[in-house]
């Protein structure tokens, strides 16, 4: 499963496109090399994901067309292309609609539509990011900095996000790529000079954009989004951005969301513990969990 898209012609790793280990250009799967520390450890890394990554490319998938009116049966149908019945049952517990307690993200599951998109987004984006941040922080000679973009832009949604129609703005959220307008400060004046997917609306979005751009520039100049003492760009929204550590208690991410930024530790941990247990998926229910990963690696 990649971003919720059904793998109609699944490759050996369960998705429509995947790296080819040919023994020449690529000796092992990239994630195996990553987990073994077999990568350039002398490169500083900033990485992250958006809250609603799972709304990308879902318009034509079974179940999702119901949008915010998705039923439990629609939830099952939406995930059936990638998960078998037993895994869907577990997913409905972890991504339970209107659940109380849990982390801040569980409060986003206000209906089956949002619950389903979060399963999809976690599988395709959030949890691979967590795995990568953990592996890099274990082996790297530099700090790793993780972010979580949770602000829903006021601009009309990107064409590939959510369910097209009059309510698309309600079904897109902080979708894949929606942080780009903030990192690159895509104001109306800038967008008049060329084509923009989205642009900033309001002084507070512009301030958030300047804040994010400042972090990115500082990282490019100093290998640290915080800059150096008495140097680097900042705004009234800027807060110290801690590094992401292999230690569980220090797996912090900066949360980009108005009206103010915050630091959170262990975002999506419960969800990602479940997602990571799935291993590599295929669209055919005949493949059993969790032995599928070992089966595929022998191909």
At 8, is the pLDDT very low, low, confident or very high (cuts 50, 70, 90)? very low
Higher pLDDT, 190 or 295: 190
Q: What is the pLDDT of residues 251-292, one digit of tens each?
A: 999 999 999 999 999 999 999 999 998 875 443 333 333 333
**pLDDT at position 76:** 94
**pLDDT at position 280:** 58
Strand partners, 178: none
Task: Tell me whether residue 234 is exposed, middle or buried, using C-beta atoms within 10 angstroms of its C-beta: 0 to 12, 13 to 18, 19 or more.
Answer: middle
**pLDDT at position 23:** 83
- Report the percentage of the chain scoring pLDDT > 70: 84
What angle separates helix 269-277 from helix 127-139, to the nearest 10 degrees? 90
Q: Is 175 helix (H, G, I), strand (E, B) or coil?
A: strand
> What is the pLDDT of the chain when averaged over all its residues?
85
What's the average model confidence in pLDDT over 119-134?
A: 93
What's the average model confidence in pLDDT over 73-80?
A: 93
3-state DSSP percent of the chain in helix, strand and coil, to 5? 40, 10, 50
CATH fold for the domain made of 30-291: Rossmann fold (3.40.50)
* pLDDT of 86 strictly over 50: yes
For β-strands 144-149 and 45-50, DSSP reports them as parallel
* pLDDT of 43 strictly over 80: yes
> Could you tell me if 157 and 169 are in contact, meaning their C-beta atoms sit under 8 angstroms apart?
yes
* pLDDT of 82 strictly over 90: no
Q: What is the pLDDT of residues 235-256, one digit of tens each?
A: 999 999 999 998 878 899 999 9
Please give the helix or strand (H or E) that residue 144 lies within, else none.
strand 144-149
**pLDDT at position 13:** 45
Dihedral angle, C-alpha 97, 101, 107, 113, nearest 10 °: -20
**pLDDT at position 15:** 52
What's the average model confidence in pLDDT over 189-218?
A: 90
State pTM to two decimals.
Answer: 0.86
What's the average model confidence in pLDDT over 137-148?
A: 96
- Among 101-105, 107-111, 174-178, 197-201, the range scoring the smallest mean pLDDT is 101-105
What's the average model confidence in pLDDT over 103-126?
A: 86
**pLDDT at position 265:** 94
Please give the helix or strand (H or E) that residue 265 lies within, else none.
strand 262-265
**pLDDT at position 162:** 95
Q: How far apart are CA 161 and CA 39, in angstroms?
A: 33
Q: What is the pLDDT of residues 143-187, one digit of tens each?
A: 999 999 999 999 999 999 999 998 899 999 999 999 999 999 998
* pLDDT of 299 strictly over 60: no
Highest mean pLDDT among 2-16, 19-33, 91-105, 203-217: 203-217
Higher pLDDT, 187 or 299: 187
Domain ranges for the chain, please list them: 30-291
**pLDDT at position 194:** 67
**pLDDT at position 98:** 80
């Amino acid at each position: 499963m990649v971003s919720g898209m059904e793998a109609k012609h699944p490759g050996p790793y369960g998705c429509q496109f995947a790296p080819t280990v040919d023994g020449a250009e690529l000796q092992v799967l990239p994630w195996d090399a990553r987990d073994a520390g077999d990568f350039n450890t002398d490169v500083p890394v900033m990485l992250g994901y958006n809250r609603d990554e799972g709304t990308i490319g879902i318009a034509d998938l079974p179940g999702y067309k119901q949008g915010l009116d998705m039923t439990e049966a629609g939830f099952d149908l939406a995930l059936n292309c990638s998960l078998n019945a037993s895994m869907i049952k577990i997913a409905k517990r972890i991504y339970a609609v209107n659940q109380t307690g849990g982390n801040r993200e569980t409060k986003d599951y206000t209906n089956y539509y949002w619950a389903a998109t979060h399963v999809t987004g976690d599988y395709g984006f959030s949890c691979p990011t967590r795995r990568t941040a953990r592996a890099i922080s274990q082996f790297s000679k530099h700090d790793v900095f993780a972010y979580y973009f949770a602000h829903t832009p006021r601009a009309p949604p990107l064409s590939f996000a959510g369910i097209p129609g009059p309510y698309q703005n309600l079904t897109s959220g902080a979708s894949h790529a929606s942080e780009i307008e903030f990192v690159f400060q895509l104001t109306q004046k800038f967008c008049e000079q060329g084509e923009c997917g989205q642009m900033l609306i309001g002084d507070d979005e512009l301030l958030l954009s300047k804040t994010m751009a400042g972090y990115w520039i500082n990282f490019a100049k100093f290998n640290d989004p915080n800059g150096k003492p008495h140097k680097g760009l900042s705004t009234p929204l800027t807060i110290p951005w801690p590094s992401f550590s292999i230690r569980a208690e220090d797996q912090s991410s900066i949360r980009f969301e108005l009206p103010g930024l915050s630091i959170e530790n262990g975002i999506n941990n419960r969800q990602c513990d479940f997602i990571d247990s799935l291993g590599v998926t295929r669209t055919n229910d005949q493949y059993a969990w969790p032995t599928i990963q070992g089966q595929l690696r022998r191909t």
